[in-house]
Chain A
Amino acid sequence: MELDRRNFIKIVVGGAAGIQLTPLPWKLADDIAIWTQNWPWVPVPPVGEFTHVGSICTLCPGGCGIEVRKVETRAVKIEGRPDYPVNPGGICPLGAAGLQLLYDETIRYTSPMKRVGPRGAGKFMDITWDEALDTLADRISGLRDRQRPEALAAVDGNPIRSTMSLMIERLLKAVGSLNYLRIPSAEDTYEMANTLMLGTEGPMAYDLENADYILSFGSGLLDGWGAPGRVLNAWGLWRGKTLKKRVRVVQVESRASNTASRADQWIAAIPGTEGALALGLAHVIIKERLFSTEFVNNHSFGFNDWMSADGRHHMGFKTMVLDQYSPDKVARITGLSLREIVSLAKDFAGAKAPIAVCGKGKGTLNGSLFELMAVQSLNALTGNINRTGGIFMRDPLPVSPLPEVELDAIARQGLKKHRLDQAGGMRYPFTRSLINSFTNNILRSSGSPVDTLLIFSANPSHNLPDGGAFKRALKDIPFIASFSPFHDETSHMADLILPDHTYLEKMDDVVWPTGLQYPLYGLSKPVVDPVYDTRNTGDVIIQLAKRAGRPLGSAFPWNDFEAVLKARAKGLFDSGSGLVGYSGSRPAWKRQAGGIRPDYRSFEDMWKKIKSGGVWYRPVDSAGDRQMSFKTPTGRFEFFSTNIELAVKNYARKTSEQTALKQMGFGVKGEEAFMPHYEAMEPEVDSSAYPLTMVPYEMINLSSGWAPTPPFVYKTLFDTQLKKAESFVEINPETAAQHDLKEGDRAIVKSTVGEVQVRITLFEGAMPGIVYMPLGFGHTGYDEFIRGKGVNPNSIIDAGTDPLSGQPVWWNTRVRLTKV
């Protein structure tokens, strides 16, 4: 018996046979099959108890209600909240994907940081909160010690009227600086138009749900305007009616946007001529006597010509419109047909509850003041003000003001200096802030007049329509502190990062969502514990002020930001009535019979309920019906703005009226300037070298504001909008043919301030002669999901200046297209 070849084979055969009679091969085969199904790198989400937390979304100023589904401590889904009055259950594409902003570690600042690499490289080192706060507090104290408090400036992207924006403005004031800059949005222009015509600083309040005719002047009702959850819901209601009763939606826009291409009627006016169209409609309405004589005679000022106390004759709105805006002329300006204008005017005036809506796109960027005023005058002509299905003249939300800041000598001295942007001065008396002019001031100065710049909830490097000027200006500013939670382009230029929580980790308020017809105060709450070492910027401002010493600290006597929010909410309670609960069975826009009985007993009770439910609101009731006490100087709706007249006269005291008008940006002379009028704002550029116009546009499924676009949302973009690293511009096939361009071609879009390379997509819905570029691409910050995709139209915008408001005219940059 020796182990020869033959016997060896026997052992092997025996072993093989034996193994077959054991479970080993069968079990192993099965287990290996299972093993291939469970790769360790395929995540297995942990199970646990499901809970729901109601809050509100503050990714945009819309403030929709959200319900966050959680498993134990993790948030796993964001849904719309059916128990929230703004958006009964629905949500927008960005809001639904918001968790990707919370949990993406590589787009977030995970702790306070200081810059270690060159500016813009995004290289930072972790520091402690103590060090970060001390650094900034020392910097601010240093400026005050050197008697230069005005060298502190802040750029704020928080919504207008929000408590955060008040805190930031307050900080600057306490330090002694007027240089508080806002990112211009449609809200700023709305506020100006409402102040001048209605006499209220309250928000635009459109009773969309009850209207039967919507005439929108470029507002992207279906493209993210207002609170998208609310406006899209209204659209569903309009379309849910039987064919005969359907609300008629008319969109004035040069491009077939989601809104224009679905509207019952699409009026493709040349961009920038919307104001002329509104006045042309007014002409027809006045001429055909289709306007509300009741409103015009009893509640308006400056409609007819009048004689002032000094015996001078003044031109009224009627005369001006009849003289200047004949449908013929307006047809030439707008590129529309005479018939279109006349029938549109008749339809609008003939409707039972027509609303003319203004504000371009999503409203992320400012509008044109006189265009907005022209549109508002249409609402006045129909008399559809303070009536169901009309626009409402609303007082600002009755939140309590913060107590006056006690100023020390240094601060008082600093506040005597001029603002760097000229806003609120002689030239632009009604504008709160002009960031473009601020930027230019820095770029023009040899040494930066700003020493320390604070940036809050804003990404001006990317989002300002200034051809990249702000980005250049940042290089001149010695010290920049960013409070951004995200690695955005502006924060990459900062020296110090004091990261805020994301919106899902913090308490913050929404003071009246854009366009809502009833007063509403929303309060977000932390739906998860802070994921990283970040702090609510509201708290940080208080901590910072306390560190910077007594005079500053006493301006912020609160323990934390929640105490500030609570102090502000007291005013809601004091206003007498309101609700903090919403069941969904009774929409807040449905007129409630009788008064509203509060569903809270005391202020403490109300605050507790706001904190858990996230809302205080006062549904539409009959209390304000046809109340026509306008708070303008004349007490009436002003077709002729006495405030503008006064401002011009004021300025003219130092010079001539003609020079004053010119300095304020007017192209018209005389009393026309005091009324809604149209001025062609043609850029002074050689049109043979730059034969086309570039119009940026906003999409509901791409963030053009401060919040980054969550990765899921990129799934919704077509490959004719973004393909790999390249974004597309839309042009009409006719324009394409003239430039020898085909679908998918690459081309350079060149303006006087810059150029970008894009791809071409042909779209019949694009107005010939115009290049349409989407806003929201071209990021260099964030992570691989967001950066390196497409180009940013803002970088080639050569913005003009809007008369009187001084805000940028960003919708008509002259460009040329060259095939690559």
Chain B
Amino acid sequence: MEKGHDHGQNKYGMVIDLDKCTGCGTCMTACAAENNVVVRPDESDKERSITWMLLYKITNGKKFPHTEVCHFPRPCMHCEEDGNGGHHPTCVSVCVATATTLDSKTGIVSQIYTRCIGCRYCQAACPYHARYFNWWDAYFPKGKGLERYLSPEVSPRMRGVVEKCTFCHHRLMRAKNQAYSEGRRDLKEDDYITACSEACPARAITFGDLNNPNHKVSKLIKSPYAFRLLERLNTKPKVYYLSTKDWVREWADNPVPHVSPSS
């Protein structure tokens, strides 16, 4: 697994068009519903709330009535490198339990809950705050029956482990099963997309194989308006953004995307 980043066939990635994004939050709820993300009675404690996909809100800082707002949907970036020449992402290189790895065949950074020892080192190492720690067990009190909506495709997590966006890896497995059933090994572009890109009502999120020149994502990242978050860290994220607004692109290189405009 640690043979460097000579990926076999696929390099799955995402392009998020910030001109189209309306900040509605559907990506966040669709993600939570898809991935059995735990929800607690108080989700306003943002240091404890788990959100594989998170909206950051930024403003252009101009006074009324020239204020503009932009939301950054932030999944796991599935970085290629650690920024210091190491051929795996920062979270992977610090993991003492080999609970997270960069899959050489898909480019997806995995997270294995049963392997994780909960040291939270990866969480500290991630420059995008994409990793979350389970401070408690999943909240499914007796008599509420909320566990009935849980999907069997994603394991519910126990307390004491770290979790993060997996690019809906189980959907890749689902797509593969479907393809095998039809007697093919190759996936078509639409076979495997993440829950957030599927749900986005403005069609702002595009998902596909960055290694495949025919996929929409490969074309989109050639746009002069394409960029990645904290690009100068050299972590080579596989999540790209598009924005025609200069102030938005300037923000993107800011080391800490502010959560709220006023803080």
Contact = CB atoms under 8 A, between A and B. Distances in A.
A and B touch in the complex (CB under 8 A): yes
Interface of A: 37-39, 41-48, 69, 71, 74-80, 87, 89-97, 99-100, 102-106, 222, 224, 228-229, 232-233, 235-236, 239-240, 243, 256, 258, 261-262, 266, 268, 531, 700-701, 710-720, 722-724, 732-734, 743, 761-768, 783-785, 789
Interface residues on B, range: 35 or more
B102 to A, nearest CB: 24
A269 B152 CA distance: 51
A416 B109 CA distance: 72
Given A43-B147, A96-B33, A784-B41, A719 B260 contact: yes
A258 B22 contact: yes
A736 B105 CA distance: 54
A26 B44 CA distance: 45
Contact of A261 (B68, B114, B146): B68
Contacts of A45: 36, 147, 150-152, 156
A104 B147 CA distance: 9
Nearest to A229: B201
Contacts of B259: 718-720
B64 A268 contact: yes
Contact of B261 (A38, A46, A243, A763): A763
Contacts of B201: 80, 87, 90-92, 228-229, 232-233, 236
Interface stretch (B93-101, B119-127, B135-143, B227-235): B135-143
Contacts of A90: 26, 199-203
A418 B152 CA distance: 58
A100 B33 CA distance: 9
Interface string B21-52: 01111101110111011010111111001010
B61 A764 contact: yes
A91 B144 CA distance: 26
B33 A80 contact: no
Contact of A713 (B25, B37, B69, B151): B25
Contacts of A784: 41
A91 B30 contact: yes
Contacts of B145: 103-105, 531
Contacts of A91: 26, 30, 199, 201
Given A235-B20, A261-B59, 7 more contacts: A42-B156, A93-B29, A96-B26, A256-B68, A261-B67, A712-B37, A764-B59
Interface string B59-72: 10111111111100
A76 to B, nearest CB: 4
Contact of A716 (B20, B25, B37, B200): B25
A101 to B, nearest CB: 10
A739 B29 CA distance: 37
Contacts of A767: 64-65
Given A105-B143, A743-B262, A37 B25 contact: no
A529 to B, nearest CB: 13
27 contacts: A37-B114, A41-B137, A45-B36, A45-B156, A48-B152, A71-B151, A77-B33, A89-B203, A90-B26, A91-B26, A93-B25, A96-B199, A236-B202, A236-B204, A239-B19, A243-B244, A258-B69, A715-B29, A716-B28, A718-B260, A723-B44, A761-B260, A763-B262, A764-B59, A764-B63, A765-B67, A785-B39
With a 10 A CB-CB cut-off, give which of B41, B46, B57, B263 has the most chain A CB atoms: B41
Contact of B24 (A77, A92, A104, A261): A92
B158 interface: yes
Nearest to B22: A222
A398 to B, nearest CB: 29
Given A45-B151, A262-B69, A764 B62 contact: yes
Interface string B1-24: 000000000000000010110111
Contacts of A743: 262-263
Contact of B29 (A48, A75, A97, A228): A97
B55 interface: yes
A764 B67 contact: yes
A713 B29 contact: yes
